[in-house]
Amino acid sequence: MAPPSADTASILSGHTTATRTPFSRSTNFTLDTFSSADFIVKDFVESLSETATSSRKSSQAPNVTSTQAFDPKPLIRTFEQALTRLKVLSEDLELRENELSANVRRVEAQHNQNIRARERDLEQAVDSFNGLERSLDGDGDAGGNAAVRIGERLEELDKQRQRAQDAKFMLQCWIEVSGRGDLSSLEDVRRLGGSDGKVRCAYIARQLLKISQKMGPQTNGRYANGVNGTNGHSNGKPSPRDIIEKFLEGLEKDLLKQFDEFYRRQNFDGMRECAAALKDFGEGASVMGLFVNQHQFFIDRSQLVTEDVSSDPEWWDRMADPDSEPPGVESSLQSLIDEVRLVAQEESFIIKRAFPFYEEVLSRFLQRVFQQSIQQKLEMVLDKASAISALAFLRALQTSKTYISSMVEDLKTHGLTEHPEPASVQTAAILDQQMDELFVPYSIGSSYIDREKRSLEELYSSLLFKYTTYHVSRVDTDHVLPANWVTVAQKTSWTNHVSWLTPSS
Amino acid sequence: MSSAREAYLERLDSVDIPSSQKAILSRIAGINTAAKGGEVEVTEADGELSLPYTKRMLKWLAEAVGRGLELAGGHETPKEVRELLTILVSNLGEIYLETALDAASDTAAAQDNSKAEPDLSYVADLRNDISVLHLLLVTMQTLLMPLVASNLTIRRDLEKSTNAFVDRMETKVDAILQRAIDAAMTWTAKLLAQQKKTDFRPKDDAQLQLDQLQTPTCRAIFNFLSKLYNSAASALSGRVLEGFALELGLGLRSLLLTHFKSFQVSLAGGLFVSRDMTKYIELLKVFKLPESFNPSLEVLMEIANLFVIGPEALKDRLRGVGSQALSGVEKNDLRPYILRREDAGSVAVQSALHSL
């Protein structure tokens, strides 16, 4: 008989204890005896035989003889008893084992059944999901539409809810402002709501402003005791309208300040949020103004713009000399244009990241650069050129236009906010328009061609001065053909008429 | 007369031209503004056309046209080009070129009645005039006209006025050339009139040996007309030169045909006639006249021969033996020349005459 495992031992131990029968001491063992860790077969057998011998000794104690023969009977009886007992135990054990295996089989069968049931459930779920998907996908017009309708409906409801909430809040604010003259709830939203709250705040405040405008006279009148409707200040209390306006003003200032801070820290996302909120204030004019005005470019470049136009006399000599090639674009204008080219490209990157409505900002930025910096510089160059000579002016006009227009083309190719794609149609149009406007004052009507004519005629009559003088005096001294004299004289005076009497501007 | 000059100088002094521009203009004009109100020295060279000047004027104009294209963007181009072309034509065309042509015309006219050899150097000077006209024309046709092509009205307008201008200039050139031809013929006739009676009837053979190859008259005419032709060839080309040379050739031929009717020629003198005629023909060949003129040259040579050959040969020659050159000539037209032979009264010559 193999020693039982610890598990079986523990299970059987209670059982065997309960069924233990009071044999003699020698047969007093149970299944526990075998499951114990220190069970040794030899010891067990020894203990059995010991009990047998001792009982024999005690029973024969009165007649002690040293030569008494070995009596095996008690031993045999003890072993027989032990064997019988072991047999009983073994049968008992077998019975329990069978019982347990039957239990295991039953539980296993049940488990399998359960699994099959879940499998069916899953299949069913997948089927119904597929069915649903199919019905949503295509053929199921009804299902898809229904889903969309539900979505729309939900959205609508959400909006309505939002509206209702806004309206409630707005009314609350209005009551506050018109009743007590303060906007503390709105102030709270503004303080606590972060930038999202500011956007909402701005929206509500503007609605309130509208209400106040519609209510206008009545409300204001109430504060004015119905005496007049001109302004709510008559009784010293500010009208709701003023309060709201003031509030909006403060809010805008807040946002602008925040934007500026973000700008200094190059926090584009922050700038973007502020810009989005400020978009509602006069179409974002203030934030665009802030960006464009305080822009580094204008601060840094103001010096470049006002810097003196080149005074290199040799350069201007060549500019004015019709016989030498024009020396190109004026140097200070050139450096400004080069700078603009660079800055516009760099700033486009920032604008694109910092403004949701970046195209508008870019166009404002470009307008500002053209109408302020470039125009100012161009005027300086042309003024200087015009003080040198008519030709110098014309040449300066031409070289400037060529240079600026090449910059414009570069910007279009670069794409600015669309980089690396070419510039958008709108941006390209703005560039072209700015370019045109820059030069319109010089090409309006016939002013350009008049200048060109005057310059050419002055040059021609100068070049032909000695020639004409010679021929006039030749005819003068030569009286052979008076008719010809008239011809030359007339021609000469006509030239003078054309070149000298043309209006100078 | 100095009013134009004064007006110009006054303008230079006026305030609405910047001083730097005045400096440039004075430099271009070549006058010294420092000498205020001072006389402007002009030399004959100042009155001549100059190709560099012309090129400068055209270059300035080209710059202006290019600038106009760039600045005005194109839609006003035809109008602007018209303005600029008008300035070009009135300055380079009328003030510059036409004045030069008028001056040449005056010079030519002034020499009509001159007793001395006429100064036909103005023919050579036409070279510049024509070059200027050519440059002007090329500029208008290749640079300006294509730019006005988009505007039909302006294009027609300009084509018309341009053509009218060019016609006028060409007429003036033609007139000057005609005057040169007239003067040349007049002078040639005068030179021919100076031919001595004895030139073709040398007194003795010794003189014949001493003398040069041609008579002085012939040499004078040869030199005079060669010079004129060379002047013309340097100034003119193509059909104009051909026409000019043909006029000269025809004039000379007709003068010569008359000339040799009026001198009695001795046997020895016939040699002079022949030599002179050879020289005249050499001159005419220099003129590069058209093929159709070649028979005339042969006729001239044959006429010289009429004085040289013997009476018998003369008879044959009149019949067309030996040379066909005279076959196209009305025989009676030859009679005056034969009658000028010293031996015209001889039986042999008379019989030859009878055969005409």
- Which residues neighbour B40 within 8 Å (Cβ) at sequence distance 6 or greater? A465, A466, A469, B5, B9, B31
Asked if A244 and A177 count as a contact pair (C-beta separation under 8 A), the reply is: yes
Closest A-chain CA to B43 = A470
pLDDT of residue B132: 93
Mean pLDDT of A475-482: 50
B55 in contact with A, Cβ within 8 Å: no
Closest A-chain CA to B24 = A321
Instruction: Say if the Cβ atoms of A316 and B72 lie within 8 Å.
Output: no
**Residue with tokens 């006279």, as numbered in its chain:** A217
Whether A219 has a pLDDT exceeding 90, the answer reads: no
Across chain A, mean pLDDT equals: 76
- Which residues neighbour B25 within 8 Å (Cβ) at sequence distance 6 or greater? A458, A459, A462, B12, B17
A495 in contact with B, Cβ within 8 Å: yes
A403 in contact with B, Cβ within 8 Å: no
Fill in the DSSP letter of residue B265.
B
Summarize pLDDT for A355-381 with one digit per residue, the tens.
888 888 888 888 888 888 889 889 999
pLDDT of residue A500: 31
Nearest to A500 by CA among A458, A464, A465, A446: A458
pLDDT of residue A54: 66
Instruction: Say if the Cβ atoms of A466 and B11 lie within 8 Å.
Output: no
pLDDT of residue B33: 59
pLDDT of residue A483: 37
Give the count of Cβ contacts less than 8 A between chain A and B. Answer: 186
What is the Rg, in whole angstroms, of the alpha carbon atoms belonging to chain A?
55
Q: pTM for the whole thing?
A: 0.66
CA distances from B318 to A26, B338, B343 (A): 195, 10, 16
CA distances from B282 to A3, A478, B218, B220 (A): 158, 40, 12, 14
- Which residues neighbour A198 within 8 Å (Cβ) at sequence distance 6 or greater? A190, A251, A254, A255, A277
Distance between CA atoms of A468 and B29, rounded to whole angstroms? Answer: 11
B51 in contact with A, Cβ within 8 Å: no
pLDDT of residue A178: 76
To the nearest 10 degrees (0 to 180), the angle between helices A73-137 and A6-19 is: 120
Distance between CA atoms of A228 and B193, rounded to whole angstroms? Answer: 125
Domain residue spans in chain B? 1-41, 47-180, 194-354
pLDDT of residue A40: 82
Domain residue spans in chain A? 6-58+72-120, 156-264, 295-444, 459-501
What is the Rg, in whole angstroms, of the alpha carbon atoms belonging to chain B?
29
Q: What tokens appear for B84 in the block?
A: 């600029």
- Which residues neighbour B182 within 8 Å (Cβ) at sequence distance 6 or greater? B112
Closest A-chain CA to B90 = A495
Between B197 and B187, residue with greater pLDDT:
B187
Closest A-chain CA to B98 = A488
Whether A419 has a pLDDT exceeding 50, the answer reads: yes
Q: How many residues appear in chain A? A: 505
Summarize pLDDT for A82-100 with one digit per residue, the tens.
888 889 889 999 999 999 9
CA distance A337 to chain B (A): 18
Mean pLDDT of A203-221: 69
Among the residue ranges A138-142, A165-169, A339-343, B81-85, the one predicted with the least confidence is: A138-142
Q: What tokens appear for A78 in the block?
A: 């003890």
Complex ipTM value: 0.82
pLDDT of residue A107: 95
Residue A476: band (very low, low, confident or very high) from pLDDT cuts 50, 70, 90: low
**Least CB–CB distance from B46: residue in A388, A467, A481:** A467
Whether A229 has a pLDDT exceeding 60, the answer reads: no
Distance between CA atoms of A259 and A273, rounded to whole angstroms? Answer: 8
Summarize pLDDT for B242-281 with one digit per residue, the tens.
999 999 999 999 999 999 998 888 888 888 888 899 999 9
pLDDT of residue B178: 92
Q: What tokens appear for A31 in the block?
A: 């299944």
pLDDT of residue A57: 57
CA distances from A205 to A185, A463, B48 (A): 11, 75, 87
Name the maximum alpha-carbon separation found in chain B: 96
Mean pLDDT of B59-63: 94
Query: Which among A404-408, A412-416, A438-442, B38-42 has the top mean pLDDT?
Result: A404-408
Residue B338: band (very low, low, confident or very high) from pLDDT cuts 50, 70, 90: confident
Hey, is A182 helix, strand or coil? coil
Q: What tokens appear for A426 in the block?
A: 């709108």
- Which residues neighbour B228 within 8 Å (Cβ) at sequence distance 6 or greater? B120, B123, B180, B184, B248
Mean pLDDT of B160-168: 93
Residue type, B339: L
B153 in contact with A, Cβ within 8 Å: no
Whether A410 has a pLDDT exceeding 90, the answer reads: yes
Mean pLDDT of B153-163: 92
Whether A4 has a pLDDT exceeding 50, the answer reads: no
A489 in contact with B, Cβ within 8 Å: yes
Closest B-chain CA to A473 = B1
Residue B326: half-sphere exposure toward Cβ, Cα within 13 Å: 24
Among the residue ranges A230-239, A304-313, B110-119, B122-131, the one predicted with the least confidence is: A230-239
Assign domain B194-354 to a CATH class: mainly alpha
Residue A236: band (very low, low, confident or very high) from pLDDT cuts 50, 70, 90: low
Mean pLDDT of A235-254: 75
Contacting residues of B for A317, CB less than 8 Å apart: 20
Instruction: Say if the Cβ atoms of A390 and B91 lie within 8 Å.
Output: no
Instruction: Say if the Cβ atoms of A320 and B72 lie within 8 Å.
Output: no
Asked if A173 and A185 count as a contact pair (C-beta separation under 8 A), the reply is: yes
Residue B37: band (very low, low, confident or very high) from pLDDT cuts 50, 70, 90: low
A493 in contact with B, Cβ within 8 Å: yes
Distance between CA atoms of B125 and B50, rounded to whole angstroms? Answer: 11
Among the residue ranges A266-275, B53-62, B145-154, the one predicted with the least confidence is: A266-275
Instruction: Say if the Cβ atoms of B90 and A495 lie within 8 Å.
Output: yes
B237 in contact with A, Cβ within 8 Å: no
CA distance A404 to chain B (A): 12
Residue B58: band (very low, low, confident or very high) from pLDDT cuts 50, 70, 90: very high
Contacting residues of B for A489, CB less than 8 Å apart: 1, 4
